[in-house]
Structure 1
């Protein structure tokens, strides 16, 4: 019996009690049934009696007793206990518990997917760094977390569009072009300009692509270096993202908002909403009406549009494309943006508690030999995505960056993440997967074909614990999607790997010597294959490979 089937059985018990006049309540659309953390408390637990007690006008334990009496009549349910203030602890018989393994194998790579976010159209914007240099370590964290979150949201049924916002307008772009021009001409980089070997590399590439660029006027040179430099830098970022496995459905140019007149139109739309006013020669958005600490300038007194004006136009553009929820993933130094972005949403007539979500990611440190690594070979004073991939590889980078809450600062130890030890979390999980694949390889060597599945034979505590963990996977995926926290999947996989290792060490799967394969052999092969599928599905949600051998 799967958790979903058991949930339906609980709902049926509630419905039957209502029809019999035992409970005068509305039957809920769904109930939560979770695996028990303590095996002494049964296989599953539900708090449905606590939820129904008040509307039913009965003590929770009395409601629980009514439901327990009906649930004990359900095929596959061995025992139902009323615990504490009114929890129902449900124990399945071995056959019903073991059926989950067959269900997982038959479902394959679809196991874990659900419909909790069905019908919700989400725009997920992540990384979105200025195209004035390589992606740095903070952006690498968002690439790992953002791409994983996109996969998880889709697994929960959401219609997701992933997006990279190219900040290709404004003063930083001018500085970038000036820095490239200076490098090509052998001049010092302008004050507050960009430095690093990558600037020299791009400058050389531009001269190779436009051989006569240095013969042009200073103004024409600046234009060529800025435009061509942006094109090359964006291409470099796209290459890095592709190699890192981070996919973006849309690469959106900030400059296009200005070129298309979208910024002006956005200001007029907000003015029609009654939130734009003129003061001191500038145009303002009255964001203080919606909790911001001060009103924000849209257009300066000299006519220059602010980044905030672009932010407003960009949000409206996202909504015009049919996105119901716009998720922004920003770095720790952008914490002050939360209030003003929510104010834009409110000024646009939307609900800032629903139509926008802003996730803030904290900083990342890297260690080698116990010392913090601060410098990049190409970028000078930052660690780039290519550095991270070179030092620890894509799998280790993606997994280790996605396995912690973005609220916390994390430290990646290069020595640990390149070691083949249990201290390396990605190795620990991937090794468990290779062990699972090894069962099938050993079976082929012995000429054993997986026979009929008899789930009632899976009775040991290690088998029961493994089945219990496998049954949790859909709930974990749904939880990670709802909370926008991919780390729940990673931590689950580590726990599952430990449970599998204990099962593998205590329950012999393949026969020894000349022993024939038995029904127990087949049952454990089914269970091992179910575990393999769940680990592979979980790693795929994190964009990490599931190797068959290591």
Structure 2
């Protein structure tokens, strides 16, 4: 795709360096090495469409006042053949550049000719990258942290894909270790209680007390009856755990599908135990001198690799820890499956685990710099200005399933992606279902539907869009029109920046800003008018906005309705 923001920026750098070269050649500037300079979009467009700080950063090297340098550069600038009409010196020495109509025409042409490809860049160069997100414990339902992490992770994967990476979406199923043993004991107690009575069978204090465990035990009893009441304990617990995990994983799968999340891979932790990968990584840590024995347990020397304290790898009872499995799992991602980069989306409560795991990647020779972790902060559900903690339906903590019964999927995905992962989020349940311009997702969808309405109304008058000439596109000179086109031109940049920062919220905010600028344009100008060339130019602008709105909403897996 064309990135006309990059093109304009590159043109400025090129003409500035040419001007500086001519000034040095003529002796007007000393021949000194120049530091890198920035080209930015000013906050106030009255100061130009782009601004370069070359004079400011060069003042020390050239031993001249910045404004004097800027004026000298301005005198040597040659903008012929570029997307700029002229430049000005402003303030202490900024060089401000003003775009020509040809740039705005090029943006509209790019949107129309490239179609959905306009949302794709080449930044990733096809590099293999995995995004692992949600990975909720299969012993219970998903909570609000999983809901936010799911929306962020899924939209991040889409952004990376659009930025040119070869993306794999993965869910890690923790179906081994202590929590599964506890799950089995919990199911066993509920299974016994069905036939022997709750008073006769004490429930383990540290067991899983959720209603979902009762449901699984009932389903097991319905299928197997009393068959496992007198079976050997190990056999009974193994069968119970397998039964419960399969059903819980299916529930996770189905709930995530309702949330429009589909994974390429569901990876089982048990595989690492069964195929020897966990044992291999423990042996490797020992071999590299990164593990030692103490108090009957095997420890990982985490402090040698940047962490605050050492971690147990294998408990004194011989059972490997979750951390040991996590090292093996990430080694599998890099060495066995060849990912160049892995991005894990975790809850903020895992922040202490980040340095440990990255250090462990260094310890096994993979390289911790290949692993990046996005931490998501807490979500507060709000209704009527009050914090909501319990589900109306169940009276329990609100799960993803509960949320999606109350709030449309479009709103959930949009709201969870409105802010950066590292910021706390208040999710307004009332606003999420409100059909007004106060609801951001409704506001964006309404912009898309409004454009369809314009087109249908004009079609009823036998007026249809046609291709426009550059001269006709040049008629789009009003500030609201230029601002709207400039925003269309920003999209490739935003995709690249969102991918670099692992911040899909940039794209949600981009599309919200696009809707805002469209509504502002629509309120200021008639599309239907007596001047046919201007009407056609505005119709084509509407088409471009409609298409970009849809492409971005599709990227975020949010619907783009034609009527509302």
TM-fit CA distance, 1:426: 0.9
Distance 1:22 1:477 in 2: 38
1:332 to 348, 369, 376: 348
Distance 1:195 1:213 in 2: 24
TM alignment of 1:25-40, pairs within 5 A: 33-40=39-46
TM-fit CA distance, 1:50: 5.3
1:510 to 520, 525, 528: 528
Is the contact between residue 135 and residue 237 of structure 1 (CA under 8 Å) also seen in structure 2? yes
1:348 to 364, 381, 394: 364
The TM-score normalised by the length of structure 1 is 0.91
TM-fit CA distance, 1:112: 3.2
TM alignment of 1:78-117, pairs within 5 A: 78-117=85-124
TM alignment of 1:302-317, pairs within 5 A: 302-317=317-332
Change (3 A) 1:180 1:282: closer
Is the contact between residue 74 and residue 87 of structure 2 (CA under 8 Å) also seen in structure 1? no
Distance 2:370 2:214 in 1: 43
1:475 to 489, 493, 497: 493
SS in 2 for 1:408: coil
Structure 2 equivalent of residue 231 of structure 1: 246
TM-fit CA distance, 1:290: 1.8
1:442 is the counterpart of 2:444: no
Is the contact between residue 68 and residue 80 of structure 1 (CA under 8 Å) also seen in structure 2? no
TM-fit CA distance, 1:244: 0.7
Is the contact between residue 74 and residue 89 of structure 2 (CA under 8 Å) also seen in structure 1? no
1:531 is the counterpart of 2:533: no
Distance 1:306 1:448 in 2: 69
RCO higher in structure (CA 8 A, sep ≥6): 1
Change (3 A) 1:246 1:73: same
1:322 is the counterpart of 2:338: yes
Distance 1:54 1:435 in 2: 54
Structure 1 equivalent of residue 511 of structure 2: 493
Structure 2 equivalent of residue 165 of structure 1: 172
Change (3 A) 1:525 1:420: same
Structure 2 equivalent of residue 429 of structure 1: 444
Is the contact between residue 195 and residue 380 of structure 1 (CA under 8 Å) also seen in structure 2? no
Is the contact between residue 154 and residue 160 of structure 1 (CA under 8 Å) also seen in structure 2? yes
Is the contact between residue 68 and residue 88 of structure 1 (CA under 8 Å) also seen in structure 2? no
The TM-score normalised by the length of structure 2 is 0.89
Change (3 A) 1:305 1:43: same
Structure 2 equivalent of residue 543 of structure 1: 557
Q: 1:286-319 CA deviation, whole Å, 9 max, x = no partner?
A: 1111221111111122222111111111121111
Distance 1:100 1:123 in 2: 32
Is the contact between residue 37 and residue 57 of structure 2 (CA under 8 Å) also seen in structure 1? no
Structure 1 equivalent of residue 256 of structure 2: 241
Is the contact between residue 141 and residue 252 of structure 2 (CA under 8 Å) also seen in structure 1? yes
Distance 1:210 1:55 in 2: 83
Is the contact between residue 23 and residue 73 of structure 2 (CA under 8 Å) also seen in structure 1? no
Structure 2 equivalent of residue 397 of structure 1: 412
Change (3 A) 1:203 1:150: same
Structure 1 equivalent of residue 305 of structure 2: 290
Unaligned runs of 5+ in 2: 26-30
Distance 1:346 1:200 in 2: 43
Is the contact between residue 25 and residue 56 of structure 1 (CA under 8 Å) also seen in structure 2? yes
Is the contact between residue 362 and residue 408 of structure 1 (CA under 8 Å) also seen in structure 2? yes
TM-fit CA distance, 1:540: 2.4
Distance 1:190 1:376 in 2: 26
Is the contact between residue 140 and residue 210 of structure 2 (CA under 8 Å) also seen in structure 1? no
TM-fit CA distance, 1:71: 4.3
SS in 2 for 1:457: coil
TM-fit CA distance, 1:530: 1.3
Distance 2:71 2:278 in 1: 59
Structure 1 equivalent of residue 28 of structure 2: none
TM alignment of 1:135-284, pairs within 5 A: 135-185=142-192, 186=194, 187=198, 189-210=203-224, 213-214=227-228, 217=231, 219=233, 220-284=235-299
User: How many residues in Structure 1 have an aligned counterpart in Structure 2?
Assistant: 544
Change (3 A) 1:335 1:12: closer
Change (3 A) 1:477 1:75: closer
1:466 is the counterpart of 2:458: no
Change (3 A) 1:336 1:448: same
Provide the aligned C-alpha RMSD in A. 2.7
Change (3 A) 1:499 1:194: same
Distance 2:481 2:213 in 1: 58
Change (3 A) 1:213 1:521: farther
Q: 1:62-113 CA deviation, whole Å, 9 max, x = no partner?
A: 2675367434323542221233454332212334323312221222212232
Question: Is 16-25 or 232-241 further displaced after alignment?
Answer: 16-25
Distance 2:394 2:371 in 1: 34
